[in-house]
Structure 1
Amino acid sequence: MSPLVRPNAGPMVATFLDLPAGSPGGSVELFLDLYTGNEPLVPARAFMLAPPGSHHPRLPTGLDLLNVSGKCLAGPGFGRYVAALRRALAEMIDPSRIDVLHLQHLAFGGTPALLRALPAHPRIALVHGTDLLFAENHRDQLHVLRETVRAADSLVVPTSAMIDRLLKLAPRTDRRRIAHIPWGLPDRLLTNPPPRPDRGSTSHLRLLYAGRLSVEKGFGSLTRSLARVPGVELSIAAPRAQFHALAPLLQRTGTRARYLGWLRRSQLWRAFAQHDLLVMPSTTLEAMGLVALEAQACGLPVLYQPVPGLNEVLAASGIATDFTDSVVLARDLNRLRSSPGLLLALRQSGYANAARYPLSRTARALKDLGGQLA
């Protein structure tokens, strides 16, 4: 197949993220950053699921929705769901106008559906993290993951920790097909972060938790340990339904928290500039921790559980702690509260660390890889 002529643009991609438009999460933000907008970094026919109900979020330019229901993970229903996705994609995509497939996640329904809708195109699989976690716990998803690994011409993985976890799940993977390409932050954030107001001296720390409140994000450990630590204020930016579901936990532990809502990207960046620390108590693998890098780009230091992925991306640019141990957490927070120079040093190292990950570099590497295959 000969690529279409698009000077400097790169091969035309077909890609599908198997989530409803408007879903929270770093994978969604990365997907929209790369493939949508008036001048997308990676030229693409990009698809997500239509959200349930009649109210649809405002869509970015270049994103199309599939009206397919029945999303599930296992059993006969999963096969029917994949078949419905394949039919929908085949109706909307002209194969002659596509050069390469970008398979978002090694598992879930979107990847096998796109493979079956466009079986003759080169395939680049992008590993996000949730696919590995779900493959560990769902036999059908492990089967999809291994099938995708065999079918992909190249496997793009953002961290070494993710490579290690992938090889445990699919030990026969040809390592020569693995491309280590880190995810990135919008260049505009790196060059023009929101201003940080001068807070002056204070006796308390303003902590911010930002992201989904699923079990692996460790919010339970955070609240139980933080309830025993004086001199801190906790703000939470999370999906509303998830926050309300965990409200009883906050009440039981006696943890006082200010709910900010589920913030739009620009609102979250401004919130970063109004706090002293981002807390990341994740209990398991993080694909890369884009929210931590975005915080650093906004001058917000990061206090984190050193799980695989985060310890690689943040290392000494943040402060590693143990959110499951209230004594350790209190010690680290007291050290930060009593040492304003340490917070300033972390802010500067965070800026430098975030600057290592411009999204334009990620896009360029993906287009170069696609150009080699198309």
Structure 2
Amino acid sequence: MHGHVDALTGRKFTDRLTITPWGIPLPAAPTAQSTSGRTLRLVLAGRLDCNKATITAIEALALTRRPHHLAVIGSGSERPALAARTAEPGLTSRVHFTPFLSRTDLWARFHDHDAFVFTTRELEALCLAAVEAQAHGLPVLHSDLPGLRDIPGLAGLPYPPPDSPRLWLTPLTTSQRTHTPAGPSAPPRPPAPAATTSPPPPDSCTRSPPT
């Protein structure tokens, strides 16, 4: 992000640019508790709109034979369409919707999950909820966008946006990484794999079920 701003200003103010990380209250110790076994409890929090692409997470669950669960916390214009998608066989009991929560109530929910999911499709300044989730000990599965690319370290599992449901579930279910606390000492993680899916049409948001 620093480089983008520097380029936009013609590199005239390089010595005056400073990156100040977004401060959040840290728990005394990570609160998330990982589960044994291969069934995951995923959590996604944010607006339910086209750019947030929550449908990517739901479609990924539909593509796996493992009974992973997804908690969707938030509200927005896509809520009815997302609910309709999860009404299909195999998803009804695995995707659970909750309206927006206060920050403290959201933090309390992290304890009951194994990973935080960030599915934004095109543009994100910073996913604060993802930073908070990592501070509480959750790994972050995220679309590889500038707003989050440099933050998670090895606790981040990137996938190429805009929509890659087949891609993003694979690294999470095969990774041996466990909960990793946030911090500046977190080592860098490898780049996201090359995208293998095409962007959706401009007017497409909640897509039809995969065949």
TM-score (structure 1 length as normaliser):
0.42
Is residue 328 of structure 1 aligned with residue 167 of structure 2?
yes
User: Could you say which structure has the larger radius of gyration?
Assistant: 1
**Cα deviation code 1:225-274 (max 9, x no counterpart):** 33112321000110266534532343469644111321111111111121
Deviation at 1:353, TM superposition (A): 4.4
Greater relative contact order (CA < 8 Å, ≥ 6 in sequence): 2
The aligned counterpart of 1:277 is 115
Deviation at 1:182, TM superposition (A): 2.9
Instruction: Tell me if the contact between 1:223 and 1:253 (Cα under 8 Å) persists in the aligned partners.
Output: no
Query: Using a 3 Å threshold, how does the CA distance of structure 1 residues 317 and 330 change in structure 2: closer, same or farther?
Result: closer
Q: How does 1:303-314 map to 2 (within 5 A)?
A: 303-314=141-152
Deviation at 1:205, TM superposition (A): 0.3
Gaps of 5+ in 1: 1-158, 356-374
Instruction: Tell me if the contact between 1:224 and 1:253 (Cα under 8 Å) persists in the aligned partners.
Output: no
How far apart, in 2, do the equivalents of 1:253 and 1:321 lie? 27
Q: What SS does structure 1 have at the residue aligned with 2:150?
A: helix
How far apart, in 1, do the equivalents of 2:185 and 2:106 lie? 16
Q: What SS does structure 2 have at the residue aligned with 1:163?
A: helix
How far apart, in 1, do the equivalents of 2:76 and 2:121 lie? 22
The aligned counterpart of 1:163 is 5
Deviation at 1:302, TM superposition (A): 0.4
Query: Using a 3 Å threshold, how does the CA distance of structure 1 residues 326 and 246 change in structure 2: closer, same or farther?
Result: closer
Is residue 234 of structure 1 aligned with residue 76 of structure 2?
no
The aligned counterpart of 2:32 is 196
The aligned counterpart of 1:302 is 140
How far apart, in 2, do the equivalents of 1:180 and 1:212 lie? 29
How far apart, in 1, do the equivalents of 2:15 and 2:49 lie? 32
Q: What SS does structure 1 have at the residue aligned with 2:116?
A: strand
Is residue 214 of structure 1 aligned with residue 52 of structure 2?
no
Query: Using a 3 Å threshold, how does the CA distance of structure 1 residues 353 and 284 change in structure 2: closer, same or farther?
Result: farther
How far apart, in 1, do the equivalents of 2:42 and 2:11 lie? 41
Is residue 248 of structure 1 aligned with residue 79 of structure 2?
no
Instruction: Tell me if the contact between 1:190 and 1:354 (Cα under 8 Å) persists in the aligned partners.
Output: no
Query: Using a 3 Å threshold, how does the CA distance of structure 1 residues 252 and 183 change in structure 2: closer, same or farther?
Result: farther
Work out which of the residue numbers 72, 95, 99 in structure 2 matches 1:261: 99
Aligned AA (1:313): I
Q: How does 1:143-182 map to 2 (within 5 A)?
A: 159-160=1-2, 163=5, 167=8, 175=13, 179-182=17-20
The aligned counterpart of 1:352 is 183
| Number of positions where the alignment pairs a residue of Structure 1 with one of Structure 2 | 182
Deviation at 1:201, TM superposition (A): 1.8
Q: What SS does structure 2 have at the residue aligned with 1:268?
A: helix
How far apart, in 2, do the equivalents of 1:200 and 1:226 lie? 18
Instruction: Tell me if the contact between 1:288 and 1:313 (Cα under 8 Å) persists in the aligned partners.
Output: no
Query: Using a 3 Å threshold, how does the CA distance of structure 1 residues 252 and 293 change in structure 2: closer, same or farther?
Result: same
Query: Using a 3 Å threshold, how does the CA distance of structure 1 residues 175 and 331 change in structure 2: closer, same or farther?
Result: same
Instruction: Tell me if the contact between 1:185 and 1:293 (Cα under 8 Å) persists in the aligned partners.
Output: no
How far apart, in 1, do the equivalents of 2:80 and 2:3 lie? 33
How far apart, in 1, do the equivalents of 2:4 and 2:54 lie? 22
Instruction: Tell me if the contact between 2:48 and 2:76 (Cα under 8 Å) persists in the aligned partners.
Output: no
Aligned AA (1:282): T
Instruction: Tell me if the contact between 1:207 and 1:277 (Cα under 8 Å) persists in the aligned partners.
Output: yes
Aligned AA (2:139): P
How far apart, in 1, do the equivalents of 2:171 and 2:35 lie? 21
**Cα deviation code 1:170-225 (max 9, x no counterpart):** x6795359633334233xx325356334x552330001011112222222322223
How far apart, in 1, do the equivalents of 2:185 and 2:100 lie? 23
TM-score (structure 2 length as normaliser):
0.70
Work out which of the residue numbers 129, 151, 164 in structure 2 matches 1:291: 129
In terms of fraction of residues, the more helix-rich structure is 1
Q: How does 1:84-99 map to 2 (within 5 A)?
A: none
Deviation at 1:161, TM superposition (A): 6.3
